[in-house]
Amino acid sequence: MSVLSGKNILLGVTAGIAAYKTAHLVRLFVKAGAQVKVVMTPASKDFVTSLTLSTLSKNPVYSTFFDKGDEENEEWNSHVDLGLWANYMVVAPATANTLSKMANGVCDNLLLATYLSAKCKVYFAPAMDLDMYQHPATKQSIQKLQSFGNVFIPPSSGELASGLVGEGRMEEPENIISFIENDILNSLPLLNKKVLITAGPTYEAIDPVRFIGNHSSGKMGFELAKAAANLGAEVYLITGPSNEKISHSLIHRIDVVSADEMYSEVHKIYSKVDVAILSAAVSDYKPKYTAQNKIKKSEDTFTIELVKTQDILASLGKIKEKQFLVGFALETDNEIKNALTKLKNKNLDLIVLNSLQDKGAGFKEDTNKVAIIDKVEKISEFGLKSKAEVATDIFNEILNKIYA
């Protein structure tokens, strides 16, 4: 799976003959799993139609600040919203004219206004004739854009529209995709790191039909796995029974049922990981004996003798070497005190606390509200957020500790 999968790509198209290549570029972004929106300069429509790019991207194409319908239904195209939507912006082809305007803050069309509003990384792929590309003014524009943090995708050499041969051809779409993918991968903070994550509940069998379990859905652990993979890590996701789905080339899913199975799988992997986050809701107890056949309902009362399961988190804390170890604490009372005790007794680097007293937090919810506590008892509290956003907050805390 491409690192672009699930990302929002904003493609800026300017008025150069290489604009014809953008149809193929859009197709490749979509094939990589990205969501694509296109912003065109008005003059670029002389080289490629908005209908073509709209059809291929499956999104409207934007070129003006408002779409003229009838007088009562003119629709505003917000450059701010487009800039905030994008994970990455790509200007291809980037003509000498547009490069100069970008470098000097000129804002006379929707594409340039969107560029100036964008909060994401911006890539630009120049396309122009040989002499234009070699001109000191163009070189200065490119250098200035790079000094702003924009990423330059160098043009290739070959026959140009003028008939001259030399530098100035916009790089081929396949190479643009590869360039962006490699640049993203090389900038990811967890590239070449291994992360272990546990998720979901465990089920402890009473007989072949019944079990002891809990209401964990696994959503938090799965979001953590996605966040880790998006940061470049190779992820081992060990999950109890869960209906959650996940698909990512960097995520290895390992399904287990019981606490003993999870313990075994975690210990097989733990020695080779850099970060371990145990977010699974592991059963604290299991039946001492499991009936081989279904237990019949014959008595008014029924007693099951329970024994403790192995404490996976504590066992990892005892053998911890280079690993950064994170645990979860779901509490209903004395939250901070209980979390601090767990943090210390289990030799953790961080503990993520959430309380069932907080509305919107806990099992089966799409949201969570957490506090993150470190080894020096610094408490960082966060408001109610989606579990995807909580996963990002957790990894931000981890990265701040690892790279402090």
Q: Which residues contact 223 (CB under 8 A, 6 or more apart)?
A: 387, 388, 390, 391
Our answer to whether residue 214 is catalytic in this structure is yes
Catalytic residue, chosen from 59, 77, 175, 214, is: 214
Are 244 and 216 in contact, with CB atoms under 8 Å apart? Answer: no
Q: Please report the beta strands in 229-282, taking only residues with DSSP state E, as ranges in sequence order.
A: 234-239, 251-255, 275-278
Q: With contact defined as beta carbons under 8 Å apart, do 100 and 106 qualify? A: yes
> Which of 284, 323, 315 shows the shortest CA–CA distance to 196?
323
Angstrom distance (rounded) from CA 336 to CA 279: 18
CA-closest candidate to residue 202, choices 264, 261, 269: 261
Q: If DSSP states are collapsed to H, E and C, what string results for 144-172?
A: HHHHCCCEECCCEEEECCCCCEEEEECCC
Kind of pairing between the strands at 88-94 and 75-76: unpaired
Burial of 128 (0-12, 13-18, 19+ CB in 10 A): buried
Classify 173 as helix, strand or coil: helix
Beta-sheet pairing, 151-152 with 121-126:
parallel
Query: Across 102-142, where does the E strand assignment appear?
Result: 121-126
How many CB atoms neighbour CB 402 within 10 A?
15
Residue 162 CA to residue 18 CA, distance in Å, equals 12
Helix ranges (DSSP H) in 188-258: 219-230
Give me Rg for the CA atoms of the chain. 27
What one-character-per-residue DSSP string does 18-73 give? GGGGHHHHHHHHHHTT-EEEEEE-GGGGGTS-HHHHHHHHTS-EE-SSEE--STT-
Give catalytic residues, as residue numbers: 214
